Amino acid sequence: MPTENRIGVIGTGYVGLVSAACFAHLGLTVHGVDRDEVKIGLLNKGIMPIYEQDLAPLVAAGKQQGRLTFSTDLPRMVQEVDTIFIAVGTPAQEKTGAADLSHLRSVALGLAPLLQAHRYLVIKSTVPVGTSAQFSAWLSERNPDAQFTMVSNPEFLREGMAVSDFLQPDRVLLGVETPEARAHMENVYAPLSEKGTRVLFTNIVSAELIKYAANGFLATKIAFVNEMASLCDTLGANIEHLVAGIGTDKRIGPGYLQPGPGFGGSCFPKDTLALQDMGRAAGMPLSIIEGAIVANARHKQRMVDNITALLGHDLRGKRLAIWGLAFKAGTDDTRESAAVFIVKALLKAGATLQVIDPVVTTKKWDNLALGESVQDTARLISADSCAASIENADAIVVLTEWDLFKTVDWAALKKGYKDSAFMPVIDFRNLYDPLTMGSLGIRYISLGRPSSVETLA
């Protein structure tokens, strides 16, 4: 058990809250602070501000055992702990895509006067190379006597899998500049390293870059497989065979080769843009990352084109069942969701959409930022079951890989078809077996796989 086992976490968003709850689960005493009083109020009432599998019981247990507290009281937290994790948002700036560091800056300005005694300041937010140095400069400008050591500790959590990713990570990455900082962080992470987790130490700049390189590489892998899926459609090859054929090569690996409607979420789109910006600013444009960004944008548009190629460009009077809005299963997050991009385009083309998502319910539809794509919101209808979503529909479009959709009883559902001869299922997550769908007489179109009736161009 570490000797310094009291930590603070600034920012109780997705990364901060998961880290706080998991550290408490590992036996550390954790004080999470956030300036958002509403969020802290919810957490103190036992209500989760976000949906994340397995997180609620961990938060409840930590609070009950007295190891996890939440408040808006930054000075009190700084007094109580010797290590402070910083996990505030770094959204992409609209014009350049560069990471917006304004939240980090206000954390630095708030912390500076409180650092009379030495603290370790660990940046967990995804930040461009040089941000730890910048953070340190902000602190010293505000308070030349501030006592602190910077550490970089990027996070590799996936939404929907965050708790297990934190507790059983492939590695923990720590950027440090002194032997003391290394020893201190070894101690903080002892509960994980004692269970066999690999802890990698680098300098701070490398740690900052590794986070972007990891997300950039994974996003590139997905952009690559999505292009291959479209090529399979054009050439009559099968993407599943292609993925098995290349994924079994240990140098390539099978992960992140599942074709879909395009990568989305709060990380890959933002981080590829930030990496692109970093490369350009350094006079070293990153043509592969830039290519992945372009390929993903093209792919999402290709998904829309595939639908209109089948149903017509003017979708007025057409009714589509939309299965899924979240950017992937296991989360209620719709940020940069390819599903939302496709929904906007279909609304713009005049379609009426009957939408079902088990987690993104109408309460969260404000977050879809539909803007001008839908003047007439009556064309966006919430359905409470798959059967309800297909009433009078002309097609089903599968956009998120929820279990609810994977386990559909097609033979039963088909009885509710408006026109059993023509009601295509357009599946951008490849959830079903084309042969089974074909044998049920369902016109089935998926990505990069020869279907019973036709394939997409």
Catalytic sites, residue numbers:
267
Q: How far apart are CA 365 and CA 129, in angstroms?
A: 35
Q: How far apart are CA 230 and CA 237, in angstroms?
A: 10
Q: How far apart are CA 421 and CA 415, in angstroms?
A: 12
Closest CA to 405 of 455, 448, 359, 351: 359
Contact 335, 271 (CB under 8 A): no
**Amino acid occupying residue 16:** G
Choose one: 100-108, 116-124, 260-268, 290-298; the region binding ligand UGA (CB under 6 A): 260-268
Nearer to ligand UGA, 326 or 423 (CB): 326
Choose one: 33-41, 90-98, 181-189, 252-260; the region binding ligand UGA (CB under 6 A): 252-260
List the end-to-end C-alpha distance of the chain, in Å, as a whole number: 58
Nearer to ligand UGA, 14 or 148 (CB): 14
Bridge partners for 382 per DSSP: 355
Phi-psi region of 26 (alpha: psi -120 to 50; beta: other; left: phi over 0): alpha
Query: Is 300 a binder of ligand UGA (CB under 6 A)?
Result: no
Cα torsion 238, 242, 244, 247 to 10°: value is: -150
Choose one: 133-141, 250-258, 347-355, 417-425; the region binding ligand UGA (CB under 6 A): 250-258
Among 7, 257, 340, 447, binds ligand UGA (CB under 6 A): 257
Q: How far apart are CA 7 and CA 11, in angstroms?
A: 13
Nearer to ligand UGA, 256 or 365 (CB): 256
Q: How far apart are CA 15 and CA 3, in angstroms?
A: 24
Nearer to ligand UGA, 271 or 394 (CB): 271
Nearer to ligand UGA, 15 or 40 (CB): 15
Among 51, 224, 256, 417, binds ligand UGA (CB under 6 A): 256
Q: Which residue has the tokens 């829309």?
A: 304
Among 70, 120, 135, 327, binds ligand UGA (CB under 6 A): 327
Among 260, 424, 434, 448, binds ligand UGA (CB under 6 A): 260
Nearer to ligand UGA, 5 or 331 (CB): 331
Query: Is 345 a binder of ligand UGA (CB under 6 A)?
Result: no
Q: How far apart are CA 162 and CA 170, in angstroms?
A: 13
Contact 334, 322 (CB under 8 A): no
The least distance separating ligand UGA from the CB of residue 52, rounded to whole angstroms, comes to 10
Choose one: 103-111, 255-263, 404-412, 449-457; the region binding ligand UGA (CB under 6 A): 255-263
Q: Which residue has the tokens 């103190």?
A: 44
Tell how strand 444-445 and strand 425-427 pair up: parallel
Enter the tokens of residue 236: 């009559």
- Binding string to ligand UGA for residues 116 to 135, with x set by CB under 6 A, is what? ----------x---------
The least distance separating ligand UGA from the CB of residue 231, rounded to whole angstroms, comes to 16
Choose one: 259-267, 289-297, 339-347, 364-372; the region binding ligand UGA (CB under 6 A): 259-267
The least distance separating ligand UGA from the CB of residue 314, rounded to whole angstroms, comes to 29
The least distance separating ligand UGA from the CB of residue 180, rounded to whole angstroms, comes to 28
Among 33, 40, 163, 218, binds ligand UGA (CB under 6 A): 218
What residues have CB less than 8 Å from 235, skipping those under 6 apart?
Answer: none
Query: Is 215 a binder of ligand UGA (CB under 6 A)?
Result: yes
Residues numbered 136-165 forming contacts with ligand UGA, rule: CB under 6 A: 155-159
Nearer to ligand UGA, 189 or 263 (CB): 263
Among 263, 428, 432, 444, binds ligand UGA (CB under 6 A): 263
How many Cβ atoms are within 10 Å of 54's Cβ, its own excluded?
15
Nearer to ligand UGA, 32 or 160 (CB): 160
Strand order in the sheet with 380-382: 380-382, 352-356, 319-323, 395-398, 425-427, 444-445
Kindly tell me the burial class for residue 229, based on how many C-beta atoms sit within 10 Å of its own C-beta (0-12, 13-18, 19 or more): buried
Interface residue list for ligand UGA (CB under 6 A):
126, 155-159, 215, 218, 222, 256-258, 260, 263-265, 267-268, 327-328
